[in-house]
Chains A and B, each alone.
Chain A
């Protein structure tokens, strides 16, 4: 059986026919073809699939698409300005070389925005502790932490939407 699911993604209303067991991440990647949201572990450990739902960072591999019915989602594709100017968090990751292979990066950036939203001026220790829902297989944590600290000074905790 399929059901209709509708939500807003990056400011646009979207909907699709999905099986009831469809995970939110599958809806985002396979139905909407927004492949910036990654699947690293598929077991709620790594955070590569993190998206913002109604203002909160969540792991889209550990919830049903139906749980996002009517919600407002922001994915990595939706955080830059319409003219392509990077979000301050993306810019900080670029400046501070906060990525190596880049696989964990979409989830890191989204989680880091949520981190700064809740803790606007974190210490280095707070950044490390509060990034515990995201793993970097390249272990590039030093520069990720530097990028987040820098983004705290440039509005990195604010989403346009």
Chain B
């Protein structure tokens, strides 16, 4: 790992101002993605600004029809939360499926969403549930947030403070795991809000995406057979040693069917 300067942020405003001014500085949340990339020397920040002591970024609130999760809330906390299990069980089980117990004990929702790894789980829930990402500057709708591989709408120095999920009528997440890393080879999150159905796919392409054709079919009839013959074209899907593009395309339909069945 290259050397860097470390500081513990005293407030969101200080951390934001420092990172905005120092273009090579980076925020540190759980470090479960960032430390690994720094060890591989794929990332060389000049400074790390640790958000670990900011209690206001941690915690889960349910108000009315919305679950709001603080950016520094760890995966294990979301997975174990009785409130999340009751309001959006699919979200709790998604959090439980991330990595392993040690990773879930450190990794945070804010870090995962900001990092936008193509195979990460949370982005699919944010997009399918039409969540809102709140930062220290503004609120960003899920459809505007994820921009590409490891790319988001976040501006330099912008810090995610929380993510708010409207409670769906029914929802489920199905993930075909890479057995070694537990990341999604393909993960499909299906959410029926009561007004509309949204289908988000992670792991399959450089960035999480929605499948309009499946959404339309499921809005007409919310049943596994509605998506059984809808195939996402393999062009543009990831092809690597874990799975070729045609296999990923096949898995999207299979995982979508299973997710609908699980949501029923």
Contacts and interface: CB of A to CB of B under 8 A. Distances in A.
Contact of B102 (A3, A50, A67): A50
Q: Is the interface of A mostly helix, strand, loop or mixed?
A: mixed
B149 interface: no
Contacts of A56: 76, 105-106
Contact of A133 (B4, B38, B100): B100
B36 A114 contact: no
Nearest to A114: B101
Nearest to A133: B100
Interface footprint category on B: 20 to 34
Contacts, number: 79
Interface string B24-54: 0000100110011011000000001010100
Interface string A66-87: 1101000000000000000000
B3 A115 contact: no
A62 B32 CA distance: 6
A108 to B, nearest CB: 12
Interface residues of A, number: 30
A58 interface: yes
Interface string B1-37: 1111110100000000000000000001001100110
Contacts of B35: 23, 62-64
A42 interface: yes
Contacts of A114: 101, 105
A115 B36 contact: no
Interface in A92-121: 111, 114-115, 118
B50 A66 contact: yes
B100 A20 contact: no
A44 B50 contact: no
Contact of B100 (A43, A64, A132): A132
11 contacts: A1-B5, A3-B6, A19-B3, A23-B1, A62-B103, A63-B31, A64-B6, A64-B35, A111-B101, A118-B80, A130-B101
Given A45-B180, A66-B8, A67-B31, 20 more contacts: A20-B4, A21-B2, A21-B3, A43-B39, A44-B32, A47-B100, A47-B102, A56-B76, A57-B102, A58-B102, A58-B105, A62-B32, A62-B36, A62-B106, A64-B6, A64-B35, A66-B6, A69-B8, A114-B105, A133-B100
Top-3 shortest CB links A-B: A133-B100, A56-B105, A20-B6
